[in-house]
A and B are shown apart, each in its own frame.
Chain A
Amino acid sequence: MSSNSQTSRQIPAEDVRKRGSDGHLRLKGDAKPSVGAKREYRHKDNRSESFTTPETDRPSSRCKDWGSEVEQDEMKMSVNRDMQRYRRRILTAEFASRERKISSGSCDSRDSASPAELETDENVLLRRQKQINYGKNTLAYDRYINEVPKHVRQPGVHPRTPNKFRKYSRRSWDQQIKMWRVKLHAWDPPAQDGDLQAIDQIDLGDVMDIELDPDVEIDSQYPCKTSAEDEMDCYSGTPRKMQKTEELGQA
């Protein structure tokens, strides 16, 4: 019954304190703490403190500290916003290409995915967004976007942020991310003494990075299977800018 796309933001009855996120049953009016601070709290039966049995109809993150929870909610909101913007972009692109067809009589089918083929699973989108964030939170990315404005970028030559809204298999997606990050390394700052520099605010609106032409996608030979992702990552927050882009262990 619970759903993250609800607009009224009411917490359904089943969610209300039947179980605290530490797994313990909570009785009505029981003022037990809902979460424990990571450092001091141990469950009585010595379960790992990430053990939870939330009573929702879909897997939810096992984050137990408020900091992580808030960060995750924030990411969810921004992903949802991106989704809406992307949908609008697709619609306007479709509309524009239809107009071209009518006026020029060409059979140019350069539409991108119709809404039915969009990736909408929130867990998948969040995981992908997190991977994208890691890449964008780098000096290399900063230098890249400053050096190469969008209109001069050439497909194949310049790295392009993978489109998180398209359906890809897990492997395909991970591969795209890997290659994207490898390509970004070309813009790594020259090796110097390791001063962390102040970084400008990064633009997380990568919706505008997403090209709508399908024929220049990276790795389009991978099958576009529907992926049923049940990843339950605990998002540890917005990654900080790093001088080296080694999170994914790329050479």
Chain B
Amino acid sequence: MEGSGKEEYKIQSFDMETQKLLKTALKDPSAVDLEKVSNVIVDQSLKDQVFSKEAGRICYTIVQAEAKQNNGNVFRRNLLTRLQQEFKGREETRKRSVQEWVCYVSFICNVFDYLKVNNMPMMALVHPVYDCLFRLAQPDSLGNEEEVDCLVLALHRIGEQLERMSLQRMDELFCLLRDGFLLQESLTSLGRLLLLEVLEFRAGGWTLSETAQKYYYSEVVD
């Protein structure tokens, strides 16, 4: 049980004391300082690429646990406040460290994916997430494989949901991606490949045709 818990929430990168804190938060939220827990999770998400892509799930479980235990939402509130602060300072973050910026985007997208309210996505996050993706679609970011990779992964995971929330913004975003793919010289060939794949992915209704799947994902046979 211990082992599967660690793997499921990907908390191996934390030190033992923090792991213990998180495990307690999952089972008995009122017994821990939930503000501290949310800060620990957010801080780690900004540093750890792997964790940033999976942290949404542990957040969701803690939110549910707290709601069930005492109808509270201290954790969720703190988490969202931190997310909002980081969102506000995202341009500075990007200047300081592209990696941290990319981690932030992965994290907020993951939270959007997992933290549903009555099975609906949190409306408050829709436009901020779009804002982040639009930033990633700017010329300077498209020239950066790290950022393109982050962008296309986000679109694979939550593109369809985002589109349902605002078709117009998704259309606008994809205009930028098309333009970038066609016109931008600073794109690497990998960057172009990633963009082409996601363009086909959306055009196919957020799924790849069989032939496209083979093209992009099959092993090359010598």
Contact = CB atoms under 8 A, between A and B. Distances in A.
Interface stretch (B14-22, B50-58, B143-151, B165-173): B165-173
A61 B124 CA distance: 13
Interface stretch (A120-128, A182-190, A233-241, A243-251): A233-241
Contacts of A34: 127-128, 131
B15 to A, nearest CB: 28
B80 interface: yes
Contacts of B165: 9-11
B71 A66 contact: no
Interface string A200-218: 0110100000000000000
Interface of A: 8-11, 13, 16-17, 28-29, 31, 33-37, 40-41, 65-67, 69-71, 73-74, 77-78, 81, 137, 198-199, 201-202, 204, 237-238, 240-241
B189 interface: no
A31 B128 CA distance: 9
A201 B88 contact: no
Interface string B30-69: 1000000000000000000000000000000000000111
Contacts of B123: 9, 69-70, 73
A241 B117 contact: no
B68 A201 contact: yes
Interface string B92-129: 00000000000000000000000001101011111110
B165 to A, nearest CB: 6
Interface of B: 30, 67-73, 76-78, 80-81, 83-85, 87-88, 90-91, 117-118, 120, 122-128, 131, 134-135, 138, 164-169, 172, 176
Interface centre among A9, A10, A33, A67, by most B CB within 10 Å?
A67
Given A31-B135, A240-B72, A78 B118 contact: yes
27 contacts: A10-B164, A10-B167, A11-B166, A29-B176, A31-B131, A33-B87, A35-B87, A35-B88, A35-B128, A36-B88, A37-B84, A40-B88, A65-B80, A65-B81, A66-B81, A66-B83, A67-B73, A67-B77, A67-B80, A67-B84, A70-B122, A73-B123, A78-B118, A198-B30, A201-B67, A238-B73, A240-B72
Contacts of A201: 67-71
Given A37-B81, A37-B84, A74-B118, A69 B124 contact: yes
Q: What DSSP secondary structure best describes chain A's contact surface?
A: loop
B168 A13 contact: yes
Contacts of B164: 8-10
A221 B127 CA distance: 48
A73 B73 contact: no
Contacts of B169: 16
A66 B88 contact: no
Contacts of B138: 31
A39 to B, nearest CB: 8
A77 B81 contact: no
Given A37-B88, A66-B81, A9 B167 contact: no
Contacts of B80: 65-67, 70
A130 B73 CA distance: 15
Contacts of A16: 127, 166, 168-169
B127 A17 contact: yes
Nearest to B164: A9
A10 B7 CA distance: 36
Contacts of A204: 71
B117 A77 contact: yes
Nearest to A17: B127
A77 B134 contact: no
B124 A31 contact: no
B126 A11 contact: yes
B202 to A, nearest CB: 17
Contacts of A199: 70-71
B88 A41 contact: yes
A77 B117 CA distance: 9
A65 B84 contact: yes
A73 B122 contact: yes
A31 B83 CA distance: 17
Given A16-B166, A201-B71, 12 more contacts: A10-B164, A11-B126, A35-B128, A40-B88, A70-B117, A71-B73, A77-B118, A77-B120, A198-B30, A201-B69, A237-B73, A241-B71
